[in-house]
Amino acid sequence: MRVVEKMVSRMARTILYFVAFMLVAGFAKAQDAQQANSFLESVYKHYEKGGKGIDFTGPGAGAYYHSSLLALIREDIKANGPENVPAIDSDPICGCQDWDGIWDLKIDVKIDNPQRATVRVSFFVFQRRGKDDLNKLVITLVPEHGQWRIYDILDESNPKMNWDARKALADDLQTIRQNKAPQSSH
């Protein structure tokens, strides 16, 4: 009988630990989604009426952008030099060059896994707007130093011409490298 009691006790502990783990995991996921939402709300506060946005080349960019994306941006700017326009020549967070505020901001967070969130964001950058003026972005967030950071931005505002930040940077750098490579003559 003692053996059965020990087995039941172990099973009960195992089930209790499992339930506790699932509860903590569930709360952590909900907390992560809330943190991702709060992070992006704080990002878009920089674009409210009179806001200056976030300078992706400035010293504070690391508080918003993932270091690997910043490295690509900086490499592309350096590779283009002063004579060429880099792959990112507007503000990728708003998908614009000018704004008078952020209007009707909608943020929809989907936690893909603990290391990745996909966020659909839509908004207008001008108070006076038409039906085609809606900015629609898909922002990939990944954690860095325990905080969400922007890893990639896909601009879906123009259905005929989606624009992906990482892809645009990689393509531009590849083109620059190919143009600088010595040409062989036959």
pLDDT at 27: 37
Half-sphere exposure of 144 (CA within 13 A, CB side): 16
pLDDT at 2: 64
Distance CA 53, CA 94 (A): 8
Distance CA 26, CA 158 (A): 36
pLDDT at 103 over 50: yes
For residues 129 and 121, the model is more confident at 121
What domains are there in the chain, each with its CATH number?
A: 2-180 (3.10.450.50)
Comparing 19-23, 131-135, 159-163, the range with the smallest average pLDDT is: 19-23
Average pLDDT (14-35) is 51
Percentage of residues of the chain with pLDDT beyond 70 = 81
User: Strand, helix or coil at 38?
Assistant: helix
Distance CA 137, CA 163 (A): 9
Whole-model pTM: value is 0.80
* Burial of 21 (C-beta count, 10 Å sphere; 0-12/13-18/19+): exposed
* Burial of 14 (C-beta count, 10 Å sphere; 0-12/13-18/19+): exposed
Average pLDDT (150-161) is 93
pLDDT at 186: 57
pLDDT at 3: 56
